[in-house]
Structure 1
């Protein structure tokens, strides 16, 4: 028996008012979702995914946007409803989960009050009834100690738990349709796995229809029954998820899949591999050779870190005295050789970025040794520090915040050259033009400002800025995390090309395990400020020894639709706090050698 769809979108077209007139960003989009079904809308930034969800919910500014076509929910055209009618639909018949829960939750109200508010508004419950129902819903989305945590505020929850609060709020009124707009993008891989499992379980229990919006093809493969691929506002392709993954018709669909790093694809490879070059318009795929420059481990390391300790005081009371400390980095040791990529991986709060910043002396460590080409970094004075930073540079996660919006990109790239006395005036500008060409940008773009570039282009500008000083070591702190999959592949290839040509060593800080597996020579896994496992990439990924490493790898979504019924059953727990009381003495750690150069913490 053929059932009526819960949602039917027909010829949806959304246009925005611009200075040049009305511009369409979604054109003639059509799809259906039935009860109990998950439909994924996928595509890169600017493809129209999120605009589609906001159009369905009618959350766009009516003065600056137009929505045409039909959005039929259980027989009613939502585009024909009054705003008051839509208020009755939102949160009741359709609920939405956004990408960043902290911006969706009101910091001034407890999480329990915010969940209960939905029930009071749509189900006309009393406050006591709403509290009881809200606590039950919090327990249902696996929030531990729900009755106690009902009265806590959003800032007292971790990112994963805040997303669970958002899901509880969305499901409180038992909606027929759940729209999830990039709900796991901002989460660590283990938390992402828990949230995906949770959505699957709740969908089975409630028979909800789910519209899942994402750019992560691994997530699509694991959660979606059918997939809609969007490309620059148009519907490129739609079909069952298995069909699109196995035999996509549209070139863009094939290109999108080809650009996705798949965990396990490096099995048998003895050195890092570049991503294939993919033409996103035609789908043409050109494999690239692996890196040719070998790492000489018999030479002295460029960078040596021994027993690094970085802590931040926690102060409280009327006198603002230190009552404890955040043990952000605790006893970290590793070496880094010329031409090598060592990746630091782990969840948010594990100390990866603080390790990178400590090495750069952007934060001051409490203890330990940092040696760069034989120089003791922790004993350098101001002038010596400036000279040292010619040899070690940092690429940050968000290039927009690390580039001065009032400087042209040419000025931004030339600035370090002038600051360090390498070049001046016309010579600095000429060198900046060469550097932009080196990272694949046209030197004719020199007089543009950062806001005139895409995210991937801005990251290339940031890389060009770093290269001008000809550093020996580059700390790349989540430098590709915010990029689309095709741009991520391009930037990774660029970094690997530069490494092969110039012999640069990379300390690559990331939580993207599939990217790390592809580009790394060695991998160090961090947990609560400590390295729990370190070794050659093929051993850490092929034969993980520490329980936390195994947990990280098992949580990574793989772009394989055969895994759609997968349940990880990861225990629901939050990352433990790194805050310790004053006088706390960390335990002495011991490591065993699991293989050549492969060390695992045992105590």
Structure 2
């Protein structure tokens, strides 16, 4: 029996499936040739069942969902095989009838809600449109139904938020709006394409809870597309593992997790960071690595202690405050300020990693940019390698930046698309006049080799590399000036699970060989636990808890720290169906009126170096 046949016949129960996909093959036209991206995938989804398609970027999972919805461009794509919704063939339906199916019988939630919502229309009107297109109802009835849907997806104060615009909602609340829109016509099938990848861990937990609850209430089937095995364990009844366009393994989620047969399945599972896996270890720990070809685990050395025992830290921050003024009215008077960072203090020694964690909007990225003077702080003291950062003029500021470099979240946005990667990596060395072009080229080639790339790639451009490779290029560029501190701002957040493991291991290797200090900014608690020596938890611009990694993770004291940890998805299928019942309030606003004086904060020492803000 073929894998495709077993996937179809493995569906539990004898009821007619909601969705039946057989031998789906999707090809794209590239230079007058058809290239298959999805290759003969088959599966079924039963009523009220959740099936997850898991795989990394480029595996074909999103193309599978777009093929089912027939949303691919006709002139550049070709879809073959069979897709049946409740026994009705979708691939041969006339366009007008297919339009009635979309949003009515099948709905889809996309990864980035801001690109899916129209920025110039209120969210209530956009959801109402999904109702009026498919149902014969009045405006008043549509408004009442939209408010009911907004309440159903747990948006606080739904009636008053009907007329608000997408930019007035947080990322998590925008995703709730998208779910409300998808549920407007009570679809038989909901396709969720990476709906939590771009979200903070607490908001991700809320969205997963919400999808489970709504599935119970509405009785719909769900096709969940993701690369996060922790999410898969929590939501899926059955799992399909995709690799290079093919379904390499399929079966009940528990079987996939505990008895996965394919090397790629085992590679995905081994690379998932698990919260609480550090045991009594004091030092960071490399991520497990598996050879995808053989499925055998590659043995990795333990990380050696690189933290300098000197009393003088390489980076010292005291009472750092960064505020952004808000001007309004006819004369543009100052009416308030965004208190992005408020009296933040910490220090980092040579060879040490301090992780700065918290949700979007908590001020962690602004802290990183303030430390490097990419943003000018309002007040405070910052000392880097002997430089008093707050008092530097343009010339000395330029010299200081040789000591501290940044690696940003999206390397494609931070690399010039018109510049070869060799030129991009060489540029800082040449701009700082540290040597000749020949010396710059030699050093760039050496660094590219150090980060796992070949020097003969220097003539290629950013678009010719994968996301993980681009991040390696960004790291090589940051190392060109021999910095002592690197600010890694969500440097692995957007990467697939195995690529994330590779880049984290690379950072640990570079720290060991070059004694680098890292300010590691992240919202991923499971990754932070493995790579950091100390952890600082930020909330509303303030550090609410800071201490050695083991102390903070083993004995979290602040309610917000405990909330962050409780929200981390655990790759254990036995947790399927468990709901966290987390509060759904949006993160509070850091905007304060003009003249506002923040309260003086006090900290209590729980154990040596472990401090918690007193409420």
User: What is the TM-score of this pair, normalised by structure 1?
Assistant: 0.99
1:494-573 equivalences in 2 (<5 Å): 494-573=506-585
Contact 2:306 2:350 in 1 (8 A): no
Cα distance in 2 for residues equivalent to 1:298 and 1:562: 47
Question: Cα distance, 1:563 vs. partner?
Answer: 0.8
1:333 to 340, 345, 354: 345
2:371 maps to what in 1?
359
2:597 to 570, 580, 585: 585
2:93 maps to what in 1?
81
Q: Flag the 1:572–1:578 CA change in 2: closer, same or farther, 3 A.
A: same
Contact 2:351 2:511 in 1 (8 A): yes
Question: Cα distance, 1:280 vs. partner?
Answer: 2.4
Cα distance in 2 for residues equivalent to 1:356 and 1:290: 29
Question: Cα distance, 1:305 vs. partner?
Answer: 0.2
Aligned length: 603
Tell me the secondary structure at the aligned position of residue 53 of structure 2.
strand
Q: Flag the 1:190–1:226 CA change in 2: closer, same or farther, 3 A.
A: same
2:168 maps to what in 1?
156
2:254 to 239, 242, 253: 242
1:422 maps to what in 2?
434
Tell me the secondary structure at the aligned position of residue 80 of structure 1.
coil
Question: Cα distance, 1:151 vs. partner?
Answer: 1.2
Q: Is 294-303 or 158-167 further displaced after alignment?
A: 294-303
Question: Cα distance, 1:297 vs. partner?
Answer: 4.1
Contact 1:267 1:542 in 2 (8 A): no
Tell me the secondary structure at the aligned position of residue 476 of structure 1.
strand
1:174-323 equivalences in 2 (<5 Å): 174-323=186-335
Cα distance in 2 for residues equivalent to 1:444 and 1:187: 37
Contact 2:306 2:515 in 1 (8 A): no
**Structure 1 gaps, min length 5:** none
Question: Cα distance, 1:422 vs. partner?
Answer: 1.4
Would you say 1:34 and 2:46 are equivalent positions?
yes
Cα distance in 2 for residues equivalent to 1:29 and 1:71: 11
1:409-488 equivalences in 2 (<5 Å): 409-488=421-500
Cα distance in 2 for residues equivalent to 1:106 and 1:411: 38
Cα distance in 2 for residues equivalent to 1:92 and 1:170: 8
Contact 2:267 2:289 in 1 (8 A): no
User: How large is the RMSD of aligned CA atoms in angstroms?
Assistant: 1.0
Cα distance in 1 for residues equivalent to 2:225 and 2:441: 43
2:126 maps to what in 1?
114
2:9 maps to what in 1?
none
Cα distance in 2 for residues equivalent to 1:353 and 1:154: 23
1:9 to 13, 21, 32: 21
Cα distance in 2 for residues equivalent to 1:272 and 1:290: 8
**Structure 2 gaps, min length 5:** 1-12
Cα distance in 1 for residues equivalent to 2:395 and 2:271: 44
1:404 maps to what in 2?
416
2:155 maps to what in 1?
143
Tell me the secondary structure at the aligned position of residue 504 of structure 2.
helix
Contact 2:25 2:41 in 1 (8 A): yes
Question: Cα distance, 1:164 vs. partner?
Answer: 0.7
Tell me the secondary structure at the aligned position of residue 79 of structure 1.
coil
Contact 1:337 1:505 in 2 (8 A): yes
2:107 to 67, 83, 95: 95
Question: Cα distance, 1:117 vs. partner?
Answer: 1.2
2:7 maps to what in 1?
none
Question: Cα distance, 1:38 vs. partner?
Answer: 0.3
1:597 maps to what in 2?
609
Tell me the secondary structure at the aligned position of residue 354 of structure 1.
helix
Contact 1:278 1:486 in 2 (8 A): no
CA distances 1:36-81 after superposition (whole Å, capped 9, x unpaired): 1100000000000100000000000011101000101011010010
Cα distance in 2 for residues equivalent to 1:280 and 1:259: 11
Deviation >3 Å, runs of 4+: none
Contact 1:341 1:519 in 2 (8 A): yes
